[in-house]
Amino acid sequence: MKGEIITIGNELISGRVLDLNAWYAAGRLTASGLKVTRVTTVGDDPEKLSSAIRDAVEQSQFVIITGGLGATEDDITNEIAAKTLNRPLCLDREMLEQIKEYVQLRGMRMSASLEKMARMPQEAKPLNPKGNVCGFSLVENKVRLYFLPGVPDQMRYLLDEFVLPEILTHCKTLPVLRHRLLKLYGLSEPKIAEVLKKLPEKPDKIILGFYPHFPENHVTISLRGEDESTVIKELDKMEKEIRELLGSYIFATGTQSMEAVVGELLRRKGLSISVAESCTGGLIGNLLTDVPGSSDYFLGGAVVYSNTAKVELLDVSPATIEAHGAVSDQTVREMSGGVRVKFGSAIGVGVTGIAGPEGGTSEKPVGTVHVGLATEKEIFSRKYRFWGTRKQVKLNTAMMALDWVRRYLNGNPFLPGV
C-alpha cells in the first residue's frame, strides 16, 4: 500500500523546527512494509494545505497529516480539511466531552477555542475516543486520511497505537520486514565497521545499518521476505554472528536503555546501589530513576560539586584532595566507598571529572574523568578521557559509570582507560 505524509506548520516551513514527525512517520510506515511516496510540508496556509490534501487524495491509498489540530488561531487543519473535501464541520459530542473532562480535571475553563478542537469534517471518527489526545480519521474515495496532532509525543502515540494497526488491517499480502537493533557502548562507528568485516558472507537481502546515537552506536539488521519464520531464523543467525564479534560491547537490544539493563541486573541479583556524582551533577541518579520501580534498588546519591561537600557528605579525606586533587583516582575511590557506606548499599559508584568548557589544565584537560566502583570487598577505579561539549562529557561519564555496573555484574572487564 502506498501513502503520503503531510506535515503542517510555519515553524517547519521556516526551518525553525526540524520536522521529526515526517521522519518518524516515514520510518514507522516503511518498517511496517508500507511505501511512503511523498512527504509534503506546508505552513499554516489555507491554500497550500488545501492543495496538498487534494493532491495526496488523488495519488495515494492513505495519507498521514500532522499538525494544526490545536486550540490556537494558527490551527486550521480541521477547517481546511472540511472545505477541501466539501464536508461540513460537525461538532463531535464524544470528543467534546473528552475535552471537557480533560479541562475540568486540570481546573481549567472551557472556551470557544477549545471547543473548536471538537469540530471535525463530517463522518470523521476520533482516533482515540477514550483518551485525551485529539486526532481523527476519515475515508474519501477509498483513501484513508489520518489527522494527527503536531506535538511529537501525541503524534507518535496515535500513529503507533491506532493508525498503523488500522492501515495494516486493510493490507492483504504484506511482505514481512523485520529488524533487529543492537545497542553498543565503547566502540566507535569506524571500529564497528572494521570488526564486522570479519563477518561470514551475509545473504544479499540482509541490510546492516549503522547509526551513531551519542554516546551509543546502534547497529540494525533488516531483512524482508515472504515468510516470517524464515526471516526470523536468518536474523537470529546474523545476530549470533555479530554478537560473537562484538561481545560485551553490545549492552542492549531494541528499545532497552542502559539504565534499564543495569536496573534489571541489580534487581535479579538483589543488590542495591548508590551514586556519588561530581561532574555529572545528578545525571546518573536521574537516568537510574527514569526506570519505573527503581526505588527497589536505587537508594540515592550525593551530588558533591564542591570539595567541602565531598568531605562533609562522603567523608572524603581533605588530605586526599589536597595531595591528588578532586579529579583523581584516589578521590573517586573515597567517593565510591564513602557513598556506599553512607547509604548502606551493596554497590557504590562515583565519578569526578572536568566537564568544561572551563577548568581544564595541561595535566588534566577538559574531558578528564575518573570512575570508581566500590563493593563491600573491593574498590575499582580508572581514568578516562572524553571529547565534546559539556553535556556530551557529562553524558559519556554517566554512561561509562552505568556500563561499569553492567560489566561488573556480568563479570566482564571494564572498558580500557587512558
In the region spanning residues 371 to 400, those forming contacts with a second copy, defined by CB under 8 A, are 387, 390-391, 394
* Bond before 203 cis per omega within 30 degrees: no
Q: Measure the CA–CA gap between 183 and 204, rounded to whole angstroms.
A: 23
Which range in 166-174, 248-256, 301-309, 371-379 contacts a second copy by CB under 8 A?
Answer: 301-309
Q: Measure the CA–CA gap between 263 and 270, rounded to whole angstroms.
A: 10
Cβ 123 to a second copy, closest distance in Å?
A: 27
Closest to a second copy by CB, 17 vs 323, is 17
- Cβ neighbours for 173, distance < 8 A, ≥ 6 positions apart: none
Which range in 47-55, 236-244, 245-253, 316-324 contacts a second copy by CB under 8 A?
Answer: 47-55
* Bond before 200 cis per omega within 30 degrees: no
For residue 250, the number of C-alpha atoms closer than 13 Å in the C-beta half-sphere is: 18
Closest to a second copy by CB, 230 vs 295, is 295
DSSP bridge pairs for 382: 371
- Please answer whether residues 351 and 371 qualify as being in contact, where contact means their C-beta atoms are separated by less than 8 angstroms: yes
Amino acid at 246: L
Residues of this chain, 254-293, that bind a second copy according to CB under 8 A: 275, 277, 279-286, 288-290, 292-293
Is residue 122 part of the contact set for a second copy (CB under 8 A)? no
Is residue 165 part of the contact set for a second copy (CB under 8 A)? no
Which range in 22-30, 76-84, 167-175, 229-237 contacts a second copy by CB under 8 A?
Answer: 22-30
Q: Measure the CA–CA gap between 355 and 390, rounded to whole angstroms.
A: 5
Cβ 73 to a second copy, closest distance in Å?
A: 7
Cβ 47 to a second copy, closest distance in Å?
A: 9
Closest of 311, 385, 369 to residue 342, by C-alpha: 311
Closest to a second copy by CB, 313 vs 409, is 313
Which range in 230-238, 249-257, 327-335, 340-348 contacts a second copy by CB under 8 A?
Answer: 340-348
Residues of this chain, 132-161, that bind a second copy according to CB under 8 A: 151, 153
Neighbours of 141 (CB within 10 A): 7
